[in-house]
Amino acid sequence: MENLSIKKYKNEFTAAFDGDESGLLNPRQTPGFLYAKTMPTPVKKPELLGWSEDLASELEINTPLEDDLNILGGNLVTPSMYPYAACYAGHQFGNWAGQLGDGRAITLGEWENSKGQTYELQLKGAGPTPYSRRGDGRAVLRSSMREYLMSEAMFYLGVPTTRALALVSTGDQVLRDLFYNGNAAYEPGAIVMRAAPSFLRFGNFEMLAARQDEKNLQKLTDWTIAQFYPHITGAHKVIQWYKEVVEKTATLMVEWIRVGFVHGVMNTDNMSVLGLTIDYGPFSFLDAYDPDFTPNTTDLPGRRYAFGKQHTVAYWNLGCLASAIAPLLDSTEELVAELEAYEHIYFDKYYTMMGNKLGLDKVRQPDRNLVDLFEQTLAQVKPDMTIFFQLLTDLPETMIHAGKNLAGEDILLHFKPCFYAENSAVAADAFCNLIQIYIQRITADHIINPAGRLLRMRAANPRFILRNYLLHMAITDMEKGDPQLFLKLKEALKTPYSSAHDEFFKLRPEWANEQPGSSTLSCSS
């Protein structure tokens, strides 16, 4: 175990590529460079609010002392660190946005543990960078708490994600216009230290392609493969690498759908080439099941990034990555073929995942039809997604054995705790029909056994999710100096498949329906 302040950091990315080493913080274009040296801006009084013990243990990092806390707050940079902000571009809401870059994040260095695992350590909210554009590079407690808790929650849910090591308050006030409507107000500042093997994204490659910098595009691609896909070698390694990015991205989308997660801003600069959930902003878990739900007010009215569209947006984004690396290939035929394979890969993974959520041992073609029926019916009746699948898991054996004789009233009574409102007679009939068909399916399967079905369902269906209204309450309390709910949620998110924290196993309360920061969020969130 080592302290942040005495560790000798690796700096392989900055050693491999040219950067703007001027240290100037004024917003500007940086052609020819993949990053810009950027020193964090000191804060008034860093105070540790959250520390991820499990991640620290994995990385072999000691609990912070005074110098370590100053690093987390951006007040200290050690001699072996090389702080920088990365340069990348992206498509935002389907439109080319040109150069973007780390406007609020500063990488300090790369931490290697005794097992040879290397993680990039990055401060989010540590001050302006050359890519901040019109921003101040700061983050507020609200957004920082959301990222800190959600990235850790996703990890324990089993979803590929960046991690959060620490959350510190800064003692400074930050001016923010939450909904970009002219109502700016000061909020307490905070910084998250986040960790990942790499924060490289589709946009890093798009930037180089847009600048027709084929030399650096080839170099970055080769470096990425060597660092993070070392098993890929040979003359066709670019295609093989892209194929794996397609597969990892499909896997990530399926995992998001499994737990009901909506990212909210799936721009290409927010897509990881390692298949990680990256850049937590206006995200949300589903409460009521609604494929058209988007938590991001900036995404209205088109709902480009709605829950049910995420897998198609991923395909579009993969197309942008393919276009970026196309100059490295003699022909785009194989590249197009790998992109088109995404649909088959995604749906194979999706139906397998849904089979696990339903407790099916195998997913046959008729089962795909059953999954489709679940989708259609749940979108019609809009139950709470998490509670519905828990109630489905906990179907009493008496109901299962009743089979065709099971009364609709009994079905509706069992599932009553998952509904936000009473359904029409037509919707209620459709729901009861769905449950009866499902019971017939699991009782007709002579291979499956109840224990196996329950094991699959309990592993696939979380019981605790970090709902936005809980985050809103925890943030409100923390701003008042009360960390109790934050600490409770920090513990609850570690065991999302157990009933250990059933005090949070309930429907979203009515007050949260129209509460800004709970029901409505923005890219500022």
pLDDT tens for the chain, 525 residues long, are 999 999 999 999 999 999 999 999 999 999 999 999 999 999 999 999 999 999 999 999 999 999 999 999 999 999 999 999 999 999 999 999 999 999 999 999 999 999 999 999 999 999 999 999 988 999 999 999 999 999 999 999 999 999 999 999 999 999 988 777 778 899 999 999 999 999 999 999 999 999 999 999 999 999 999 999 999 999 999 999 999 999 999 999 999 999 999 999 999 999 999 999 999 999 999 999 999 999 999 998 899 999 999 999 999 999 999 999 999 999 999 999 999 999 999 999 999 999 999 999 889 999 999 999 999 999 999 999 999 999 999 999 999 988 778 999 999 999 999 999 999 999 999 999 999 999 999 987 655 578 889 999 999 999 999 999 999 999 999 999 999 999 999 999 999 999 999 999 999 999 998 888 777 787 765
For the chain, give the longest Cα–Cα distance: 76
Residues 141 and 178 both lie in one domain: yes
The answer to whether 451 and 118 are in contact (CB under 8 A) is no
Indicate whether 5 belongs to any domain. no
Residues 155 and 295 both lie in one domain: no
Q: What are phi and psi of 220, to 5 degrees?
A: -65, -40
Distance between CA atoms of 10 and 215, rounded to whole angstroms? 24
Q: Which of 199, 214, 244 is the last residue of a domain?
A: 199
Q: Could you give the number of structural domains in the chain?
A: 3
Task: Read off the pTM.
Answer: 0.96
Residues 23 and 105 both lie in one domain: yes
Q: Which of 199, 220, 239 is the last residue of a domain?
A: 199
Domain region containing 309: 203-355
Please count the other Cβ atoms lying within 10 Å of the Cβ belonging to residue 18: 12
Residues 162 and 207 both lie in one domain: no
Question: For the chain, first and last CA: distance in Å?
Answer: 34
Structural Rg of the chain based on CA atoms:
24
Query: Out of 20, 68, 102, 269, which one is annotated catalytic?
Result: 269
Distance between CA atoms of 209 and 227, rounded to whole angstroms? 21
Residues 418 and 310 both lie in one domain: no
Indicate whether 525 belongs to any domain. no
Residues 73 and 99 both lie in one domain: yes
Residues 37 and 177 both lie in one domain: yes
For residue 330, indicate whether it is catalytic: no
Residues 156 and 271 both lie in one domain: no
- Helical pair 365-381 and 425-444, crossing angle rounded to 10 deg: 150
Instruction: Tell which residue, 305, 211, 216, has the closest CA to residue 256.
Output: 305
